[in-house]
Chain A
Amino acid sequence: MHERGTTSTMKKTASSFAALLAWMFAGVVSAQTTTATTTATTTPGVPNTGAGDVLTNIVILALAATVAVAAATYLYATRPNLE
């Protein structure tokens, strides 16, 4: 009974995760297929050749790396003892 409940919860979690990935993918596709709404002009504005907010990017990378390492460490520390 307990195993069945656990399996059901795992399926729900996996389903939610798959839905999240599908939503993210749909967003990317939508952004890439944005159609033109600009007023036509033969002289464009100057390009934005800066790459973005460096500090924000570094914080995101650091947070994601920390979470991944913490999760991996936890899994390693609580691995089943097969002996």
Chain B
Amino acid sequence: MRVLRTFIILIVMAAALVVFASAFASSFLYAPDDEIEAPPEQMVELPGPEEVPVRLRIPALGVNALVQHVGITESGAMATPKGFQDAGWYKYGVTPGGSGSAVIAGHVDNGLGLAGVFSRLHELREGDEIFVVRADGSDVRFLVSGKRSYPHDAAPTDIIFNPAGSPRLNLITCEGTWLSDTRTYDQRLVVFTTLASD
């Protein structure tokens, strides 16, 4: 009987450790990941491998982040990077430096409330520099032209993801109040930038 009790306690302890490890990994290390394979009709011609962004630098915030290439989620939203300290470039949209608005998103916090890569995005001011490092090692420099907050369900996606016009880069993250029922923040902060003319 004693052996059985010890065995059951060991099973309970092992289960608790598994739950702890998985909860810790998902809340501290890895962001929620609900990205799906894009439907064929949404596939676009991807840029050359040397043009894709690999790092994002924001000197004013001390950010130097890895850039992941993200697609869409099942609900049709832009997917997010899998790490809280990484940024995510929308790979079915505009390439940074190309015509139109490229979009890079980043988490505001992790599952334990600690700061994510874009936790200080609201501190950016007009004229601050943003650098996108491409796979070939070249930099593309952008300058902040403005920022604005939108309700999460009423953000002007046609402007944020505009595929035409002059080269721009829009950075986006969450802010506001956490909504438990929809599991999202109620606001999105968008920092608009334009390609530096140099």
Contact = CB atoms under 8 A, between A and B. Distances in A.
B75 interface: yes
B90 interface: yes
B112 A57 contact: yes
A1 to B, nearest CB: 13
Interface string B149-165: 01010010110110100
Contacts of B84: 51
A47 B180 CA distance: 17
Interface residues of A, number: 40
A51 B88 CA distance: 14
Interface residue tally on B, bucketed by range: 35 or more
Contacts of A65: 16, 20
Interface stretch (B101-109, B126-134, B140-148): B101-109
A64 interface: yes
Contacts of A44: 72, 76-78, 90, 92, 157, 161
Contact of A52 (B1, B27, B38): B27
14 contacts: A10-B7, A38-B74, A41-B42, A42-B42, A43-B157, A44-B90, A48-B32, A49-B105, A49-B116, A49-B173, A51-B107, A52-B111, A57-B23, A64-B23
